[in-house]
């Protein structure tokens, strides 16, 4: 359901392909408030963009934070660090958007146990 809504919003990912732009369009990107050199407020999301997509992303984030082992570990680790639950769920929503955009851009399937290997950590022969 959520992916079909993303397809309709982005017109099959032809209108918006970048995950950062899509997250900004949906309204789940935290914006920092600064005024001059002395006024700093914590970052907050702005509730603009389509509400149903934001709601479905939030529900998807809650679901994977409960049922997916990798996201559950991330969720619990961030809560142990003292982060607020809505903040962590918003981070998971951003991660889900990034995964959805990458899968559609590369025309691949989701690999559950995929581990990215940084070339910096590969041992040279």
Let me know how many helices (H) and strands (E) the chain has, helices first: 5, 2
In order of 4, 20, 33, 82, 86, the CA distances from 66 in angstroms are: 22, 25, 32, 19, 14
Whole-structure pTM value: 0.75
The token pair at 82 is 């003292």
pLDDT in tens, 31-47: 776 666 666 677 777 77
* 3-class state of residue 37 by DSSP: coil
The pLDDT value given to residue 125: 45
pLDDT in tens, 70-103: 899 999 999 999 998 988 999 999 898 888 888 8
Which of 69, 64, 122, 55 lies closest to 95 in space, CA to CA? 64
């Amino acid at each position: 359901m959520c992916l079909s809504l993303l397809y309709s919003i982005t017109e099959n990912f032809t209108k918006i392909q970048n995950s950062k732009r899509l997250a900004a369009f949906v309204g789940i990107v935290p914006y920092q408030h600064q005024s001059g050199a002395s006024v700093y407020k914590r970052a907050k999301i702005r509730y603009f963009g389509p509400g149903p997509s934001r709601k479905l992303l939030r529900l998807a984030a809650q679901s994977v934070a409960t049922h997916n082992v990798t996201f559950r570990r991330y969720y619990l680790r961030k809560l142990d660090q003292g982060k607020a639950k809505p903040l962590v769920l918003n981070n998971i929503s951003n991660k889900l958007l990034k995964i959805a955009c990458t899968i559609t851009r590369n025309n691949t399937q989701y690999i559950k146990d995929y581990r990215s290997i940084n070339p910096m950590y590969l041992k040279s022969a």
